[in-house]
Amino acid sequence: MCGIFGYTGQRTAAPILLEGLRTLEYRGYDSAGIFVPGHTPIKAVGPIDNLANKITGPISGTTGIAHTRWATHGSPTEANAHPHLDMSGTIAVAHNGIIENFRELKDGLVTQGIEFTSETDSEVLAKLIGTQYRGDLLKAVQAALSLVRGTYGIIVTSNHHPNEIVTARLGSPIVIGVAKDGNLISSDSSALLSYTKDVVYLEDGECAVVSKEAYEVFNLRGDKLSRKTEKIEIEASAVQKKGYEHFMLKEIMEIPEVIRDTVRGRLLADKGQVKLGGIESVMQDLLKKDRLVIVGCGSAYFAGQVGQLMLEEYAGVPVDVELGSEYRYKRNLADKNTAVLAVSQSGETADTLASVRAGKEKGLMTLGIVNAVGSTIARETDAGVYNHAGPEIAVASTKAFISQLVVLTLLTVALGREKEMTAEAGQKILRGLIELPDIIKEYLTDTSDIKKIAKKYAEYQNCMFIGRKYHAPIASEASLKLKEVTYTHSDAYAAGELKHGSIAMLDKNFPVIAIAPEDDVYEKMVSNIEEVKARQAPVLAITTAGETHLDTLVDNVLYVPKVHSVLQPIVSVIPFQLLSYYIGVEKGLNVDRPRNLAKSVTVE
């Protein structure tokens, strides 16, 4: 969750550390801090600007580490902010992850006379490394980590070694950037783009010593490993706002291009076929599986639910969808005729990754749909598909969610054409995909109607979303967006479930947002809307262009373009993304960085 950043090179470190933290701020913004050997740590609560304002003069030194925090153990305070120091005050540590046995370790250190100044589990690492230090920082880190249970991505530097940084990972990402004027370390490759595209991804159980001129990678036993650099494909401009007020709006407006990038080189539209190079090597084995289990968390989970309906209806593939945070504990993993498909924007989602590993331990085929090239899930699965959605900086997923739906559509056609889907059916879907970017681009040219409605619905404290079939999961995704970005209490239900309990909540102050495109469940949705109106609840309906009945039935209507039914969820979710965005802005909230949240959930 947290962001960590380090630099050692020929330039003054402090400005580079601050800039790195600004790029990583979406990973956590409860507090931040930097440490340059020879100086005391500088820390501040809140955003990076607060930290920058505390740096009133130049800080000499060409090596340093930095951290932006999403609080797990201990509230957001300066005392709990990283980097933390060892007892001598000479070794500094920035940590991303959770140390599960920190209480046991802390009790042991206290009996040795070690004093603690924070509530965090991370300070234990700093103090523990300090007790192991005998003149070799790498060995001290290795010895300390051998006593640790939990997850970590750490960077460590010291006044005794002012020109080097030691880093290590287990369950939390670490990437080393190799630049001309020095080397860098980060928890996310996007933070390195301004300096280099040459990177080395550490694997779990690996550590490294990074100096101005070189890097050396080891395992925790001290054996040296040979690791070559890889290239980051994205451009630095991809993590900039490009004139938009917020990243969230920019990323919604990028959806047409994201769809083009997601399908580029993958469509054989005239044949109604799809070419997914990332799974070609396992396709024949995949076709022999009896069941596919899609695993995800948050928005990725809801994308998986839409994918389930696609795959079952159009490809005849039995599918289960599981929360990553629960699937890892299930006892039914031993069926070798099941494949596990992990969906994760970051490719680092801790619970989803744990589910992949649980599946692998049972000998199951594992697949991934991830956006981040080189991420852990991408490396550890047997095969998979990259989204190619580009970096997503806003915490609330928008364009990445759309790309996940597109990839699941491609997978549906790829598997369907090998099973029961006709060429004609495949052609219709793929031609619809080809047309989709231009349709959405035209739709996004005027969002004034959504902005106007947002002013009205920003006044409500509660809200309910309903939908059927493909749009039942979209209702859940829309509800999640509203909660994330606006802090409005929101629920979502399959519309047919209203009368089984949730309709009791409704009154004139509890609006319902109904997703009712003209499809094969449209009439059922209209009946559900009638039930809602009978309880005096305000209704906002989202339906397809050309529908005329709802305008006389509900309080407000938003229209979206009508497309192929399997593609309709991709279009239908966009007004909800914009509605949440505009309500958040209307409320004066930071829509890119909602409270209590971080972009990449790398703790369990």
Catalytic residue list: 2, 599
Where does 125-187 show beta strands of DSSP type E? 150-158, 161-170, 175-179, 182-186
Angle formed by the axes of helices 574-586 and 471-486, nearest 10°? 20
| Residues 333, 587 contacting (CB under 8 angstroms) | no
Residue 403: in which H helix or E strand, if any? helix 399-418
Please, how many CA atoms are within 13 Å of residue 397, restricted to the half-sphere of its CB?
25
Question: What is the separation, in whole angstroms, between the first and last Cα of the chain?
Answer: 10
Cα–chain center distance at 581: 18
The pair of three-digit structure tokens given for residue 596, joined into one six-digit string: 């209590």
Residue 251: in which H helix or E strand, if any? helix 247-253
Residue 548 phi/psi, 5-degree rounding, is -120, -15
Distance CA 15, CA 356 (A): 39
The pair of three-digit structure tokens given for residue 421, joined into one six-digit string: 């889907």
Please, how many CA atoms are within 13 Å of residue 78, restricted to the half-sphere of its CB?
7
Distance CA 210, CA 579 (A): 46
Closest by CA to 205, choosing from 226, 217, 219, is: 219
| Residues 206, 225 contacting (CB under 8 angstroms) | yes
Q: Which residues pair with 365 in a beta bridge?
A: 339
Distance CA 479, CA 251 (A): 19
Distance CA 440, CA 423 (A): 26
| Residues 127, 87 contacting (CB under 8 angstroms) | yes
Residue 214: CB atoms within 10 A of its CB come to: 10
| Residues 384, 279 contacting (CB under 8 angstroms) | yes
Which CA distances in Å does 309 have to 259, 497, 573, 592, 595?
Answer: 20, 18, 16, 31, 33
Which CA distances in Å does 602 have to 47, 176, 331, 390, 470?
Answer: 20, 18, 24, 20, 29
| Residues 83, 37 contacting (CB under 8 angstroms) | no
Strand 3-9 to 182-186 pairing: antiparallel
Closest by CA to 51, choosing from 76, 18, 85, 97, is: 18
Closest by CA to 347, choosing from 83, 36, 599, is: 599
Residue 547: in which H helix or E strand, if any? none
The pair of three-digit structure tokens given for residue 284, joined into one six-digit string: 């024949």
Residue 513 phi/psi, 5-degree rounding, is -110, 115
| Residues 200, 206 contacting (CB under 8 angstroms) | no
Residue 332: CB atoms within 10 A of its CB come to: 10
In a 10 Å sphere around its CB, with 0-12 CB exposed, 13-18 middle and 19+ buried, how is residue 265 labelled? exposed
